[in-house]
Structure 1
Amino acid sequence: MGRQTRHAFSFGEHYDPERLSFGAVVCHDEHVLGDGRGFDTHRHSGLEIVTVVLSGALRHRDSSGTDTVLSAGSAALLSAGAGVEHSEHAVGPTRFVQVWLTGDDPDAAPAYTATVLPTSEQLADAGLSPAAGGARLLVAQVPAGRTLTLPAAPRLHVYVARGAFRRSSLAEPLEAGDAFLCTDEPDHDVVAAVDSTVLAWQLDG
């Protein structure tokens, strides 16, 4: 296995004029890497970068001295601020999601934090605090047959990381890798068709 990437928004050669950003979110990529594959050292600035490892493990190294391995079920926030160089490589076959958000303070010192994702059946805060317009990452691990309530928000980006959800008897099920966007909508209920994991970004605007 080499490297496979799915872009939710315009990125590089993938251009969709209707999907340039969503609130502070400017990139939402799903990556599947073979052992040792990944991204060599490169530079970022002005971004809040959130990485969620869904399977396998990912080694992160950066110019601030961080050298760590994120395992499945964990997440990390790299605040690029005024500028940071980093690399990411798979330790064994790995699937992960990475989201870039426009940071509030482009002159801040770079910082890195990591956490273990919550296991709540309803959406719970992931425990990361990106400085990006009040953005929050919410996570739910939903057993088959259970209902998940998606909260009302100015903007809500919902990504099915694992499993599948039914929205209604008329709509196609949402399967792993699918996402949908809500803008100024009321609560939504979805039902897990199988054991499922959801990552949701709640955005102020």
Structure 2
Amino acid sequence: MTETRERGRADLRRAPERYRSTPADGIETRHAFSFSGHYDPKNTHFGALLACNEELLAPGAGFDEHRHRDTEIVTWVLEGALAHRDADGHAGVVRPGMVQHLSAGSGTAHTERNLGGADTPVRFVQMWLQPDVLGTPPAYGLRRVEPDPDGPTLLASGMERDAGTPALRLRRSDAALWLFTADPWQPLPALPAAPYRYAHLTAGSLGYRTVPGPQGAGRSLEPGDSVRITGEAFADPTAGPDGAELLLWEMHSPVAYG
């Protein structure tokens, strides 16, 4: 039993298994966790992650003004351009290769739309994280990412070890979001160790073993697939014929209640 706990689990969730919703004309959302009208008491979060949505907004479509509070919202655009505007005066256009962070804090309202005049959809991944301090003033950040050629690229972090880096600052002191890339047939750089890791493949394909060593079964990921990882599971991740791009959450504690 001890060995099983140490090895942990790599819980694979396929893209077609996501909950689908169409909250407005021209919007299609695929939810990894219970969200809006989809509720499963066994699938409300993983680690400190509350949501991981793949969004598709048609030209001219978008989310009208709506409110959030006490949520860290991180956005990674895959195709097109996403226009953000919030009630605190922040505005930005998020394109591929950029990462956006909205810390809702004590409460803010925002809109998110396909950039005006665009004739193609915008597709993006949006992830919600529970902060560990509530009621803070809202904050916003947007940066272009310069990929690290020698290893993973840190996109956002609240960890003390990452203070002073270009990463956007999260209000979760034990969590970080990484971008991993690999050329065709190449292994991914070493993943950070953490009790909870959430991997979401955004491009290419990826093979891995469920646990280290010969007893680990082989699995593969396609775009939109995700893995919820505990312990030493998810071993030897290696890109397929078109390379791979992977978002990975490093989380050292779960959602806190009360």
Calculate percent identity across the aligned residue pairs. 38
Tell me the C-alpha RMSD between the 2 structures: 1.8
Q: 1:18/1:183 Cα in 2 relative to 1: closer, same or farther (>3 Å)?
A: same
Are the equivalent residues in 2 in contact too, given 1:118–1:125 (CA < 8 A)?
Answer: no
Q: Write out aligned runs for 1:9-158 (5 A).
A: 9-91=33-115, 92=118, 93-120=121-148, 122-126=151-155, 127-148=167-188, 149-158=190-199
SS of residue matched to 1:144: coil
Gaps (5+ residues) in structure 1? none
Q: Compare CA radii of gyration and give the structure with the larger one.
A: 2
Whether the 8 Å CA contact 2:71–2:130 is kept in 1: the answer is yes
CA distance in 2, matches of 1:192, 1:178: 14
Q: Deviations over 1:15-37 (max 9, x none)?
A: 22221111211111010111121
TM norm structure 2: 0.75
Distance 1:187 1:125 in 2: 20
CA deviation after TM superposition for structure 1 residue 170, in Å: 5.2
Instruction: Give 1 or 2: higher strand fraction.
Output: 1
Q: Structure 2: state its 5+ residue gaps.
A: 1-24, 156-166, 210-215, 254-258
Distance (Å, rounded) in 1 between the aligned partners of 2:235 and 2:170? 25
Name the counterpart of 1:200: 248
Contact 2:27 2:55 in 1 (8 A): yes
Paired AA for residue 198 in structure 1? L
Deviates more, 1:119-128 or 1:65-74: 119-128
C-alpha contact 1:58 1:90 (8 A) present in aligned 2:
yes
Shift of 1:14: 1.6
Residue 179, structure 1, aligned to residue 245, structure 2:
no
Structure richer in helix, relative to its length: 2
Counterpart CA distance in 2 for 1:30 and 1:64 is 26
For 1:53 and 1:25, the matched residues in 2 are separated by 18
Aligned to 1:164: 205
Count of matched residue positions in the alignment of Structure 1 and Structure 2: 205
C-alpha distance in structure 1 between counterparts of 2:138 and 2:33, whole Å: 25
> 1:143, CA displacement in angstroms?
1.1
